[in-house]
Amino acid sequence: MRHTAVTGLLPQTGFKRYRKMNHPFTKVRLVAKFGLIASALALISASYAQLPGSNSGLGGNLIPGSQTTDYAPDHFIVVFKPGTSSSIMQSYMQRYGLSIDTHRTSKYFTVLKLSNTAMESGVKPQMLVSQFLANPAVAYAELDGVVTPDFIPNDPQFGGQYHHNNTGQGGGTPDADIDSPEAWDVLGAAPDVIVAILDDGIDWQHEDLAASIWSNTDEIDANGIDDDGNGFIDDVRGWDFADGDNDPDGDAVNSHGTHCAGITGATHNNGIGVSGCGSNIIIMPIRFYPGPSYFSDFANAIDYAWENGADVISASYNIDGYNQTFLNAVKRAETADVIYVNSAGNNGQMNPPRQALRNQATNVIFVCANDNKDNLASFSNYGTLCDVSAPGVNILSLFPDDGYVLNSGTSMSTPLAAGVVAQIRAVNPAYTARQCLDVLIQTSDSIPQLVSKVPGGRRINFFAAVDSSFIPATLDSTEIVLGTPSGGNDSSLLDSDDNRFLITSQNMGTQGDYAVFNATFDSPVSSLRKMRIHVESHSNIDGVSQFVYIYNWTTGVWDNAGNSRLKTTDTEVDFDIATSKLPHYINGSGQIRVRLNASQTVRRSYLRTTAFTFRVDELGVGVAEPN
């Protein structure tokens, strides 16, 4: 993304959106997964050179701004710098009496286990992490945080799926739902889309789920051979990273994962039980807790999902924080253009530490939970780093052994949002992960009672998400016309959060105070059927007006698209552009230019205007091509 300015250069952003590609790591075979030897460390070390977000200064703590309370007592994570010989790595391990945890080690990182003798003598992983960080051959070393389920179960009872279609059952508010029946009416025969459910196991033989379970067609079942060379033997239906085997069922410990999987992918319209989000949803079962389970298990689960074809990853868990190993896995999924949907958590907190992950990668979204009256659930975390809410109270879904129960939690709202964003991807296969998330956010309903909890009060709307024909245009550059940049950058305009694009107004004498900037977008289509400009903005003082203009490439002038009065809190406004003029608003290179003009004009000669700050939280252009 390039950036220019007339009256001052804004910080250049490195924000990118990635399309699905052949990731270099997919071509590296996992070496001896269940018998890793010293020579494999060289492969791990070489792989680190391509990892995003490496940081040698993390030590035993999690990412700044995040926290956790429990760590692995018997192991820690380390990545050696590229070029470090296996003999040097082995010498460090021998010095401290360490061995490789072959169950958790991957081609991206190494997990080192303490000996029983060392632990009995009082040695703790924190001590060794500090020692390894001081070693010049180590890229990073860190503790492995414990990961546990994140849900609030209710007593089993039979009820309706109000989240799909709320008619007032159970005392709910009619239409406080995601409009699923309306969505199914317009979906038609959408292509299959794979959603990886990362959880405590899934009863993949459940009567209402078996037909929707992912199958690894490149693997021959029960022959004891890694047929597809992905490092996992007989992984026909996914993998269990908690037990290290090819059965993601997890035996009796799978009620949470089975419930989540059913919300997304219970077989639709089969005359049995309940319905997931559509007949084209394929569930990839991946178990990574309980165990005990750690961030290393979580990272391995994420890597397995994107490397084996998942389009969307849904993760519901209970931990307030993340470490470098986990972040690197999420960013590898980002590079592979895979969507990552995360539960907001059930602590009733605003912007808990886990949500800082949202600003570290473009493929991440956090989901809050609301009830059958569209109120935020009493347990749900919330805040500016959560983009949407979804029903998560008393959600009817699957229970092991062909059962059905009601459960509550952001764990329930997350797979519901994952199912909807998966359908967005199914009907718009050319969209990037970020574009799919933008559609999910922009087509959500604005619920008044959620406004103070979720930006814009957004609760997902399944029907609007798949019925919308608007494709998000890509922001290419901005330029300040009047005023002084005072915060944020181009990436601040890409989504609704607490990171804003700020301009301090410029006094124009008898004309008043103005803050004006232009934004250039690259259209994903060459001809237009309709266009919508979406703005979320406010001013720090009252009395400021906002005008939206669009550049007419034929006449060379700025046409007025509409205006609104700015408030002192964020307000969202959509401006639909007249169809007859659309050919004039896109040039031969597919560019569209928008101007935002915030002004406080002089109405009487003896009045003076006051300097203000124009604060834009989101600016987007949606376009639709002719049918």
* The two structure tokens encoding residue 552: 């007419």
Query: Distance between CA 490 and CA 479 in Å, rounded?
Result: 10
- Which DSSP category does 83 fall into? T
Helix (H, G, I), strand (E, B) or coil at 617: strand
Helix (H, G, I), strand (E, B) or coil at 103: coil
Strand partners, 403: 399
C-alpha torsion 163→165→167→171, nearest 10:
-10
pLDDT of residue 252: 60
Q: What angle do CA 112, 141, 356 make, to 5 degrees?
A: 120
Tokens 């799926």 sit at which residue?
Answer: 161
Q: Is 525 exposed, middle or buried (0-12, 13-18, 19+ CB in 10 A)?
A: middle
pLDDT of residue 469: 62
SS3 sequence of 555-575: CCEEEEEEEEECCCCCEEEEE
Q: What is the pTM of this model?
A: 0.69
pLDDT of residue 160: 73
Q: Domain boundaries in the chain?
A: 31-142, 152-467, 471-624
Amino acid (1-letter code) at residue 490 = D
pLDDT of residue 507: 93
C-alpha pair distances (Å), 65 with each of 126, 279, 320, 351, 379: 19, 40, 10, 11, 22
Query: Distance between CA 616 and CA 536 in Å, rounded?
Result: 6
Fold type of domain 471-624: Jelly Rolls (2.60.120)
- 152-467 matches 471-624 in fold: no
* The two structure tokens encoding residue 57: 């200064």
For the chain of 627 residues, list the mean pLDDT of each consecutive stretch of 10: 28 27 30 34 37 36 44 93 89 90 93 93 91 92 82 40 82 86 80 95 95 95 94 95 91 85 93 90 94 90 98 88 93 98 93 89 96 95 94 94 92 97 91 90 90 93 82 92 95 81 93 96 87 93 95 96 92 85 94 96 69 95 77
CB 401 within 8 A of CB 407: no
pLDDT of residue 166: 79
Tokens 């979204």 sit at which residue?
Answer: 365
pLDDT of residue 435: 87
Instruction: Note the CATH number of domain 152-467.
Output: 3.40.50.200
